[in-house]
Chain A
Amino acid sequence: MKRVYSAALAVFLLSVFLMSCSRNTASEEIQPAVSSPSSVRMAIAVDPDGLDPQMSASASTFQVTSSIYETLVTVDENGNIEPCLAESWTIADDGLSITFILREGAAFSDGDACDAEAVAASFSRLISPSSARSQDYSFISSIEAVDEKTVRFTFSSLDVTALARFAYPWSAVVDTEHAASLRTSPVGSGPYMLSSWIPQQSLILERNPYYDGECGVDVVEFVVMSDMTSAVTAMRNGQLDIIQITGDLVGLFGGDDRFTIHALPTNGLQLMAMNNESEGLDDIRVRRAINYAVDKDALIEAVWWGYGEPIGSHFPVVLSEYTDMNGKYSYDLERARELLAEAGYGEGELHLRMFLPKNYQEYVNAGQVIADMLRNIGIDVDIQIVEWAAWLSDIYNGRNYDLTVVGHTGRLDAYSLLSRYRHDAAENYFNYDNAEFDSLLDAYSEETDEKKRTEIAYRMEEILAEEVPALYIQDPIQIYVTDSSLEGFRTYPINIFRMDLLEYSDR
């Protein structure tokens, strides 16, 4: 008897030992369970993929790094360029260079000055061949630290959209002295610095002591909550200050004065891409028939609970160059059937494979609804849900698909947004090929007259709306719920948050 007990005791002790070992690692982190007035807790669905903005392409990363690092310029909520690390700038008359004057007193969170040399070093890293972004910034031919506060960028070719490229979060200035460890120990000149990060649990930012600007809150905690149910429950129990929700959950917060609901159109769009080279879809009549067959209002209602602006072309409604192209192919089953018959496809004769990325429930849902709508005109859709990694490999890069539903984040200008439709672009997973469109793209990037440039943008939008290389669904409306005493929460046309602008009115 004793032996059994002592054996059981041994297991127990071993377990307690193992538990206490692991507890020690957790206890190093301080977790404020309840928000104090100077801290804000926000739920995020996925972790950043490391905290080096130049090494990432992920929205979840930029939403965090935008508080740690600064870009030379930034944007307001309408997309207008504003000063950030640079307090002013001059664009040369020929458009082939920009000179930035840096803000007085800018410093990295380790105390080093963030001067012209540091900026030049950071951009040299960004454009070096081993950088993930080298191609995006290949138009920069030289970077020169003129004096302590002045940096000049010289361009090899004219690109009228160059200034905006210094606002994107991946162009943030990093402290290159810590280049190797930025992914886990970021050093930037932004308002906050990393305090702790336990992946899949929480990421805590505290004030950067060397930041000279104002901040309404001292501590920002991003709580990783992959499941929206838990985030909503925690929000309603008062444990969180900001969450993002889906349309079906709005009713849970409406009419409760503890919360403010922000439903804001974003700079992004969602579409069903069609492979313009696959059998059937290479016929414009079939692509048009598909556009006629989909009831976008019903689709947006079914998947996004009506929170979305229908679009008719590859252009987000929030950008100034947007034109409404919705009227081109409004829901018309008769017309859809006719076009399909003209193209030579009778009932059930067209078979299309649709691949949907598993990680994005909204796209999986949208795909199923569209497939159901396409069945109405006799198109047989075979759905396969694939992992995101497999989607990127086989669909996006491999282009082995007929239909897929996905979203794109917007850019600040039409060129960056639409260059993926260039016939030889690596990102052209539509396999779209239109010579006129390609030449319009070139014309846009070299046109210095803003009015003419806008006209070119209109024409490009129109071509896509007519030739429908994809079914353009909507510009999504993102819904955030914040604590009603929290002020200054806004969304921006690029993937950033301005945590330094948040403050509590009263608590």
Chain B
Amino acid sequence: MKKRSISFTIGIVLTSVAVIISAVSLVFTPYDPESMDIYNRFQGPSAMHLLGTDHFGRDILSRIMSGSLVALSSALLSVTIGAVLGIALGLVSALSPKRISSILQRIIDALMAFPTILIALVLVTIAGKGILPSALAVALAIVPVFSRLVYTMILETKEKLYIKAAVSYGAGWLRIAVFHLFPPMLSRLVTQFTSSIGSAILLESSLSFLGLGIQPPSSSLGMMLSEARSYVLTYPYQAIPAGIVLLLIVLGFNLLGDGLSEVLEGGRRIRHG
């Protein structure tokens, strides 16, 4: 605790910058991120276009700004949904009789073995445009992470004396869960939540890369990279800016997650998997 966590510091800086840039994109971008200028495409960085222009002559910086907003908001949405579902599932399966719990475990196994791409495809087709369908697909991939975490943590705490005491006093399972099981788990959950945002951004961008994310003309970082892919041989620069930004945002959340675990858990417990 005495030693300041470097991970935490770098993480908080990177994530704050990302949040600020995305927030700014709501009110200001250097150019309209969607407006094309075909005769000025594939420009390198210049005073006019700080990061150059893309294959339709759109300003890359402006697209990255609004793309970051898409990345952050959809990741936040999907991790929130995933965490709520996962925690509920973990709680239920840890506190219910063995038979039900093993059925739940099989369902989670099936969910993990089921290809995310197919889930995303179904959701995109049914739920249509916007960030919701791909965020839901990502959320489903995150559910097992939380449910497993909660499940093992509860099994660990369940045997503790104060829980047994509460049970012997006749407290209901909901009361036990909310007042006795949950609080000690909170810091682990916060940590997991933060670093899951990093993985959610990665997953969302790979779905976008496969064309299963947000629809044009809106931009997402994964889609920008997917578009850049066609020009790898002729205009390799196209693949650089969005990729670096994506890397930094994900790195920021991963570091923040690690740093949080060091700070919140006093660096004694080291993150596991």
Contact = CB atoms under 8 A, between A and B. Distances in A.
Q: Do A and B interact with each other, yes or no?
A: yes
Interface of A: 228-229, 232-233, 246, 248-249, 251-252, 298, 301-302, 358, 361, 364-365, 368-369, 371-372, 383-387, 390
Interface stretch (B11-19, B198-206, B211-219): B211-219
A383 B34 CA distance: 12
Contacts of A301: 38-39
Contact of B56 (A229, A369, A386): A369
B211 A358 contact: yes
24 contacts: A229-B229, A229-B232, A232-B233, A248-B234, A252-B234, A301-B39, A302-B56, A361-B230, A365-B55, A368-B36, A368-B217, A369-B38, A369-B56, A372-B34, A372-B36, A372-B56, A383-B216, A383-B217, A384-B128, A384-B129, A384-B215, A385-B215, A387-B125, A390-B125
A246 B35 CA distance: 24
Contacts of A372: 34-36, 56, 217
Interface residues of B, number: 22
Contacts of B229: 229
Interface string B92-131: 0000000000000000000000000000010001001100
A388 to B, nearest CB: 11
Most A CB contacts (10 A, CB to CB) among B121, B229, B233 go to B233
Contacts of A369: 36, 38, 56
Contact of A298 (B35, B38, B55, B233): B38
Contacts of A368: 36, 56, 216-217
Contacts of B188: none
Given A298-B38, A364-B216, A369-B38, 17 more contacts: A248-B231, A248-B234, A249-B234, A251-B234, A301-B38, A361-B230, A365-B56, A368-B56, A368-B216, A372-B35, A372-B56, A383-B216, A384-B128, A385-B215, A385-B216, A387-B121, A390-B125
B158 interface: no
Contact of A302 (B35, B38, B216): B38
A369 B39 CA distance: 12
Closest 3 CB pairs of A and B: A302-B38, A372-B36, A229-B232
A248 B56 CA distance: 13
Contacts of B129: 384
A358 B216 CA distance: 12
B233 A229 contact: yes
B131 to A, nearest CB: 14
A6 to B, nearest CB: 25
Nearest to A368: B216
Interface string B203-242: 0000000010001110000000000011111100000000
A8 B100 CA distance: 34
B162 to A, nearest CB: 38
Contacts of A364: 216
A387 B211 CA distance: 9
A249 B232 CA distance: 11
Contacts of B121: 387
A248 B42 CA distance: 11
Nearest to A301: B38
A478 B63 CA distance: 32
Nearest to A356: B216
B49 interface: no
Interface string B258-270: 0000000000000
A298 B39 CA distance: 8
B41 interface: yes
Contacts of B41: 302
